[in-house]
Structure 1
Amino acid sequence: MTVRYERPVSRAAFFGRRIAVFSFFMFVAAWGLHRFGPLSTPSFLAVFIAAALLCTFAAYLAVLGIGALWFKGARGGKASAAALLFAALPLAAFAYGISNYVNLPPIYDVSTDTADPPGWLHVPDADQSWLGQRRPVTAVDRQAQVARWRDLTGRRYDGGLDRVYTAALKVAVAQGLDLRFQRGAPELALQEIPETEVGKEEAVPDALDFVPVPIPRPAESERDDAGLPPGDPSIQGEQRTFAFGFRQDVVIRLREELETTLVDVRVASRYGDRDLGSGVAYIERYLRALDAELLGIAGD
């Protein structure tokens, strides 16, 4: 008589795979709708946390399935491996966020000038939904930033305000900043070179017929930014983080001091009471690009 051995089946492994696949596609759909679509950040975070918790449960079931395979030879090894594979991406993103949440200061607003941060041209406001109303930025928050990022400071350039403002605006646009407000933008006029000057032999060949020449700034009542609060020339806009598309408000302030121009940057996460280091990352990236744009005129 032939004895047939029937392998047991690990239900945990197959159930874990179903949960992991469902959670993975739920996470990917929420990410896509948030990064490129209309899904708000609070809604995305709620779905993200739910997907991460489901993936944690799926990973636990997958481990049970692997244990059943090892000790009993139960079927479900491939299902357990698939469950761990699908759960890896949401869990990795969740673990990265938790790591930054625990290890970085609990702040959502960072600035290169902690003593006198650049003021908002228009104060950002957003419905925090279930995230709750966040507290105002305090001196303790600024001290926590200095303690964690001591080298985060503004830049001083030997160029004039008009030149540095133009470069700061160019870099901001190149960095993907969605401009919303500007105050104190330099005005340039195209002044025609007289024909007698253009025709001179010593003139540079192929010289431009029009040269940009700075003209005095018009009175405040004539400017487009007359409705904004008075202060130093500034640029304000909105940008989104690369991976998840979290919205951040950015203001860039320029301050003319004798023969130099000081540039300071302030970044605030629009949602939540922590930015998980994304604000500092943007400031450092922006200032490196601005240094490259104004190469040769940076001061101390």
Structure 2
Amino acid sequence: RFWYYGDRGGAHIFWGIFWSLIALAPFAVAGWWYLSYPALHDISTDPQDPPSLARAGRARSIDMNPIAPPGADEIAAQLEAYPLIVGRRYDVPHDRVLAAVEDMIKRRGWSVVSTTDLVGALSQTMVEASAHSTLWRLPADVAVRLTDEDTATFVDMRSASRYGRHDLGENAARIGDFLAELDTIMAAQTPVTPGRAPSDEDDDVPASADGTEDTPTR
């Protein structure tokens, strides 16, 4: 009987192992990400002045990660791990970039929470949205800040996990993917210039020898 049923038993064992490996694959991937990425849960293209998550901060419960400015160690860890997560300057009017951002958010299945014109020296619009992780469908909050520079628009983005001290690289990937798609959309209209966000101190930037302003970039 052993020889008669042995081939069937071997097949059952094979398929049992196969489906077990399939079931364990997400955990193996998560473990690899845990070891490969820094223990961060809040990523921004401008860690020194991240886009505000005002609505998310008020809505988060005690068991969720608080919305807070990153510390020096967190900033250093992000800059080392994700040096390409930086803002974008598009030579496209503010309203067209805003329309593209809102359309992208909707197409990705995220929910727009608010779109607010900020009060201050700079003309800025903040778009807040709720998103979710790809692997575990865990919720996250996203903010996209658009600074109107007359004929150009500077875009910064922030993504923060609601739960867990380690995002497994998800927030940086979310920002990178979003801005890469926005680059493609804007590139059809104008070149893309990576750089830093404008600030009030920019008015004091010294002029170069040819009479133009020396604008610092990241």
1:164 deviation in Å?
1.7
Whether the 8 Å contact between 1:175 and 1:286 is mirrored in structure 2 is no
> What TM-score comes out, normalization by structure 2 length?
0.74
Tell me the alpha carbon deviations over residues 235-263 of structure 1, each in whole angstroms, 9 at most, x when there is no partner. Answer: 00111233431211100001123532110
1:279 deviation in Å?
1.0
Map of 1:16-31 to 2, 5 A cutoff? none
Instruction: Find the aligned partners of 2:111 and 2:52 in 1 and give their Cα distance.
Output: 18
**Aligned match of 1:128:** 63
**Aligned match of 1:40:** none
Match of 1:267 among 159, 184, 187: 159
Tell me the alpha carbon deviations over residues 203-246 of structure 1, each in whole angstroms, 9 at most, x when there is no partner. Answer: xxxxxxxxxxxxxxxxxxxxxxxxxx746311001112334312
Whether the 8 Å contact between 1:121 and 1:181 is mirrored in structure 2 is no
Q: Which moved more, 1:268-277 or 1:250-259?
A: 250-259
Whether the 8 Å contact between 1:134 and 1:273 is mirrored in structure 2 is no
1:237 aligns with 2:129: yes
**Aligned match of 2:190:** 297
Tell me the alpha carbon deviations over residues 128-186 of structure 1, each in whole angstroms, 9 at most, x when there is no partner. Answer: 38xxx6795422112111101111111101122222212221222222221111102xx
Whether the 8 Å contact between 1:158 and 1:260 is mirrored in structure 2 is yes
Letter in 1 for 2:63: Q
Instruction: Find the aligned partners of 1:128 and 1:79 in 2 and give their Cα distance.
Output: 44
Call closer, same or farther: CA 1:126–1:139 in 2, change over 3 Å: same
Whether the 8 Å contact between 2:89 and 2:152 is mirrored in structure 1 is yes
Call closer, same or farther: CA 1:162–1:102 in 2, change over 3 Å: same
**Aligned match of 2:208:** none
Whether the 8 Å contact between 2:90 and 2:153 is mirrored in structure 1 is yes
**Aligned match of 2:178:** 286
Whether the 8 Å contact between 1:247 and 1:270 is mirrored in structure 2 is yes
**Aligned match of 2:86:** 153
Map of 1:131-146 to 2, 5 A cutoff? 137-146=70-79
* More helix as a share of residues: 1
Map of 1:165-184 to 2, 5 A cutoff? 165-184=98-117
Aligned-residue CA RMSD in angstroms? 2.7
| Secondary structure of residue in 2 paired with 1:233 | strand
Match of 1:253 among 138, 142, 145: 145
Instruction: Find the aligned partners of 2:165 and 2:159 in 1 and give their Cα distance.
Output: 13
Letter in 2 for 1:265: M
Whether the 8 Å contact between 1:249 and 1:270 is mirrored in structure 2 is yes
**In percent, how many aligned pairs have the same letter?**
29
Instruction: Find the aligned partners of 2:103 and 2:11 in 1 and give their Cα distance.
Output: 53
Call closer, same or farther: CA 1:125–1:263 in 2, change over 3 Å: same
Instruction: Find the aligned partners of 1:125 and 1:289 in 2 and give their Cα distance.
Output: 29
1:109 aligns with 2:42: yes
Q: What runs of 5+ residues in structure 2 fail to find an aligned partner?
A: 194-218
Instruction: Find the aligned partners of 1:238 and 1:105 in 2 and give their Cα distance.
Output: 23
Q: What runs of 5+ residues in structure 1 fail to find an aligned partner?
A: 1-5, 8-72, 185-228
**Aligned match of 2:21:** 88
Instruction: Find the aligned partners of 1:95 and 1:294 in 2 and give their Cα distance.
Output: 37
Instruction: Find the aligned partners of 1:235 and 1:134 in 2 and give their Cα distance.
Output: 19
User: How many pairs are equivalent?
Assistant: 184
Whether the 8 Å contact between 1:112 and 1:266 is mirrored in structure 2 is yes
| Secondary structure of residue in 2 paired with 1:151 | coil
